[in-house]
Amino acid sequence: MSELYLPEGIGQILASEVQIDKVIHRLSDQISADYRDKEVLLIGILKGAFIFLADLSRHLAIPHAVDFMSLSSYGATATTSGEVRIIMDLRTFIRGKHVIVVEDIVDTGYTLLYLQQLLRARKPASLKTCVLLSKPDRRRVATEIDYLGFEIPDHWVVGYGLDYADRFRTLPYIAVLEPEVYQEG
Ligand code: PRP
């Protein structure tokens, strides 16, 4: 086993590689069972979902394709307006397809709600959501999560796709970021 890399600013580990792996297996088993006779399109939301989508997709036991969207939630701070913009749209037409949106985290819920409304209007055969992390204490709008990895408390978390100013995204675990890091910046 290689040595754990803990850069400065990393606090408590909320989910280790082993714990994440277990959750990936649970979610991929559920999805594979629910879509047994169907073909699925996984839509990963960049950047945060790229590692989660890569791991989830490699454990699915059903035929599936992947595509990506990039969104920005404008002013995603304590004073967030909830305004979401598309930075990069899908390359796939989703009409008549079984779609699963794959997100790293749901915080206020604005991004996922926006996506659900946008994608439903394109008339997929079905639309579900698979989310690795949810912070229920931060929710501003109700959103449906069909497949959920972990519920976590309201801390800034990084690793496994999640960042602070584009740092820490590729850590193999999910950890709390020490407040000094973002209070300094
Ligand atoms: C994060 C995350 C979700 C969104 C959730 O993306 O990946 O898309 O915020 O927040 P919400 O529930 O409050 O809308 P972010 O804007 O940090 O971009 P990134 O994935 O490229 O880091």
pLDDT in the model for residue 77: 54
pLDDT in the model for residue 75: 53
Q: Which residue numbers are catalytic? A: 107
108 C-beta closer than 6 A to ligand 1:
yes
> Cα(10)–Cα(40) distance, rounded to whole angstroms?
36
Average pLDDT (158-182) is 96
Average pLDDT (133-160) is 96
pLDDT in the model for residue 3: 86
CA 63 vs CA 60, 88, 99: distances in Å: 8, 25, 12
Average pLDDT for the chain: 94
User: Where does the pLDDT of residue 72 fall: very low under 50, low under 70, confident under 90, or very high at 90 and above?
Assistant: confident
SS3 (DSSP) at 89: coil
Most ligand 1 atoms within 8 A of CB, residue of 77, 103, 111, 156 to mutate: 111
SS3 (DSSP) at 15: strand
**Main-chain phi, psi angles of 174, to 5 degrees:** -110, 125
In the sheet with 40-46, reading across from the earlier edge strand, the strands are 83-88, 64-74, 40-46, 98-106, 126-134, 147-151
For ligand 1, atom 7: residue with the closest CA? 48
Average pLDDT (17-37) is 97
Q: Provide the residue type at 35 as one letter.
A: Y
**Start-end of H helices in the chain:** 17-34, 50-59, 110-120, 179-184
Strands of the chain (E only): list them.
10-15, 40-46, 64-74, 83-88, 98-106, 126-134, 147-151, 157-158, 174-177
Using the predicted structure, report yes or no on whether residue 139 has a pLDDT greater than 90: yes
